[in-house]
Amino acid sequence: MRYLLIEDNVELADAVIKRLALDGHAVDHATTLADAQDCLAGATYDLILLDVMLPDGDGRDFLARNRARLETPVIVLTARSQVSDRVGALDQGADDYITKPFDFSELEARCRAVLRRRGGTARNEIALGPVSFDLLAGTLQRDGQTLELRSREIRLLELFARSPGQILSKSHLMDRLFSYDTTVTENAIEVYVGRLRRRIDQMGLRIETVRGEGYRIETGVND
């Protein structure tokens, strides 16, 4: 997943980015609303983490201006704990609200919950044919067999799992898996896909290469 973090506290931002990176998420960081607007113009995000008090304005005003054309879920981060502040942020389009200082595990849980709601699911599991993919545990299960995935593998498989039957181009995978400040080539995507393909083969899952277009996942092989 690719996140946009809009936060002017560099120390906090660095800590959030490092924590989310452990789960394989790519995070672009903007310290001002103007920078955030540039990010939104150049990329698509799965989730936005939005501070309220920023050098060039109020994050809630930014949210209100963009909400009508912005389908990306937004979690507001702020030191304000009054009920009226929380209600105001939610009424302006926030999907959730977390008060600083916060525990990173709570932030991660809220991110997962918001993404689940946007995906129309109540659980952390996705069915891939006869295989159960647990996004939280990072495991695949089938017929009593369990396969543990690494963080980057989890995020890559999640992209395929959320788009069953669809062809995902290399450029799309690059955009979803890596932030602006990460240099990556299409060859690197081929390597990541190849590694994942070899690992999930034992669970009866296949990643098909569609020449000239990209990749798509197949399920139910060897049923």
**pLDDT tens-digit series, residues 71-129:** 899 999 988 777 777 787 888 889 999 999 999 999 999 999 998 887 666 568 899 99
| Predicted pLDDT of residue 222 | 43
Q: What percent of the chain has pLDDT over 90?
A: 73
User: Is the pLDDT reported for residue 223 higher than 60?
Assistant: no
| Domains assigned to the chain | 2-119 (3.40.50.2300), 125-218 (1.10.10.10)
Task: Tell me the CA distances in angstroms from 134 to 44, 169, 213, one per residue in order.
Answer: 25, 24, 28
- The whole model's pTM is what? 0.83
**pLDDT tens-digit series, residues 49-77:** 999 999 999 998 999 888 888 889 999 99
Of residues 117 and 205, the one with the higher pLDDT is 205
DSSP-derived secondary structure for the chain: -EEEEE-S-HHHHHHHHHHHHHTT-EEEEESSHHHHHHHHHH---SEEEEESEETTEEHHHHHHHHGGG--S-EEEEES---HHHHHHHHHTT-SEEEESS--HHHHHHHHHHHHHHHHT-SSSEEEETTEEEETTTTEEEETTEEEE--HHHHHHHHHHHTSTT--B-HHHHHHHH--TT----HHHHHHHHHHHHHHHGGGT-EEEEETTTEEEEE--TT-
d(CA 8, CA 143): 48
**pLDDT tens-digit series, residues 8-31:** 999 999 999 999 999 899 999 999
Mean pLDDT value of segment 143-156: 95
| Predicted pLDDT of residue 170 | 95
User: Is the pLDDT reported for residue 221 higher than 60?
Assistant: no
d(CA 5, CA 27): 7
